Structures are given as structure tokens and as C-alpha cells.
Chains A and B, each alone.
Chain A
Amino acid sequence: MGKLIVFISGLLFGSGVTISGMVNPMKVLNFFDIFGTWDPTLILVVGAGLLVTLLGYQIIFKRKAPLYAQSFRLPTSQDIDAKLLGGAALFGVGWGLGGFCPGPAVASLVFGRTESITFVIAMAAGMLLTKQYQKLQQPKAGHTSS
């Protein structure tokens, strides 16, 4: 049952990024182009998404645990550090260059365009490289951190 829930969630997500137009890089880039060919659609996408999730989470977090798993798995870190902001900045530059963020990019694979495939392979490479780098850094962190 848990797995069916996960599948339905994926189904909703894939439908949402497609119907909203976020799978179209040009539409996303036009949203960022406030001083040019501005397309405000993305405000409504994120606004509607935020409102629905916010209301849903209010109800969910009244419970002690999810229905089909032992506990809620939430990030524990509270620090706004250079890693968070630097990473977000790099992501933003990539988003502004290609018009794709991870969800719509992966979803767009089904439309069979070469650019989607190229983007997702490059994204996967970037993710793997960074994870590998973080793994190498980790044992050292204990000695160097002050």
C-alpha cells in the first residue's frame, strides 16, 4: 500500500509539471525574464503548489507518523551556511541557463527530445561527482573543522 501511495504521488507530480508548462524550458526562462518577454505563469504554479502542500502538511503533521511508514523523514539541519547558499546559487545559474529544474527535466524525458536526455545525463553526472566529492571530504571533516 505504501508503494502504491508513492506511485500515485509520482503520477500527480509528473502530471503537474507537464500541465503547468514547466517541462517547457522557454516558458520557465520567460518567467525569469522580468525585463523582457515576461511570462508570469510560474508564480501561479508555485503559488498553487505551495498553498495545497501547506494545507496538506498542516493536517499530516497533526499525526505522529505517516500511515505506511514508521516516521516522518525530515531534514534536521538548521544552518544557513555557504554550502546551502552556494549550492542554491549554482543551481539557479543552471536553471537560468537551461530553463530546466530537476523534476520537469526528468519528466520531459518521455517526450523524447535529445536536449532532455543530454540535460538529465549531465545533471546525473553533476550529482554523482558532487556526492563522490562529499564522500572524500567527509573523513577529513573531523580533523579540519574548528
Chain B
Amino acid sequence: MTEFTPLSGLLGGGLIGLSAIPLMGGYGRIAGASGIFAGLLTLSFNTEFSWRFIFIIGMLIGAAWSGLFFLDVSSLVFNGGPLTTIAAGLLVGIGTVLGSGCTSGHGICGLSRFSKRSLAATCTFTTAAVLTVFITRHMLGA
């Protein structure tokens, strides 16, 4: 069980939405976490690398300070064992590169630009996630 937390949900969501505004208005980029992170992995140290690196550093500092005040870190619960974690990570990595984005890139920024591709992707990955949880929790009983 996790509790329904509407206030922190709205505040956190609002901040995620807010983050996309300076990145587009100031720097002309979409605040999509998978694209920004994947772009770092090329390790070609040019300007494409540096802005992504700065974004990720900001993200880590943001998580660290807000974790101190707004999050009980011991409340974080992970699903399954190491194999599940590895499989999940691989699928998320492969899927976000093939599908050109994740929750932030498609679900927030893409939908905000009224992109039909992002709408299709967001419906697809949300449905797939709901089905996966249904199968693992209610059919396999994990």
C-alpha cells in the first residue's frame, strides 16, 4: 500500500511541468529525461554533451535537497529481485530509445505540443504498464 498524496503530487507534478519551460524558452530543448540521459552515453564531449550533463547534475541536486525535506527515503520500496530490476532497466532503455521518449518527453512535453506521436506513445506505454502490473500482480501473483 502507498497512500494517496494529492498535495505533494500536485506540487511535484507542477515542478516537473515548470522545469520544461526554462529548458524550452531559454535553451530550445524538450525536457525529456530519457533523451537527455541517453545523449550522455555517447561520451563525445561537445556542447550536446555539456548541456545534458548540467541538466542531470541539476536533477541530482534537486532530488537530494528535496529528498531531505519532502521524502522519507526509507519509504522507497522496490519491486522484485535483481533480475526483475535488470530486466526492467533493459526494457526501459531499449523502449525509450526506439520509442523516442519517456514519461516526461512524450507524456508532458509532447502532449503539451499536441504531438500525435506523443499521444500514441503515451497511451501505449501507460496501457502496457497497467497490463504488466495486472499480469504480474493478479495473474502470476508476484
Contacts and interface: CB of A to CB of B under 8 A. Distances in A.
Contact of B92 (A13, A32, A34, A100): A100
A11 B59 contact: yes
Given A50-B112, A103-B33, A45 B125 contact: no
A24 B19 contact: no
A9 B79 CA distance: 30
Contacts, number: 495
B71 A2 contact: no
The DSSP consensus for interface residues of chain A is helix
Contacts of B20: 9, 49, 52-53, 56-57
The DSSP consensus for interface residues of chain B is helix
B54 A7 contact: yes
A20 B16 contact: yes
Contacts of B58: 6-11, 13-14
Given A10-B54, A88-B124, A46 B89 contact: no
A91 B102 contact: yes
A39 B3 contact: yes
A79 B118 CA distance: 10
B31 A123 contact: no
Contact of A122 (B11, B89, B122, B133): B89
Interface of B: 1-6, 8-31, 33-34, 37-38, 41-42, 50-51, 54-67, 70-71, 73, 75-80, 82, 84-100, 102-104, 106-109, 111-113, 115-117, 120-122, 124-134, 136-138
8 contacts: A3-B54, A15-B15, A27-B2, A33-B134, A41-B4, A56-B21, A67-B26, A96-B132
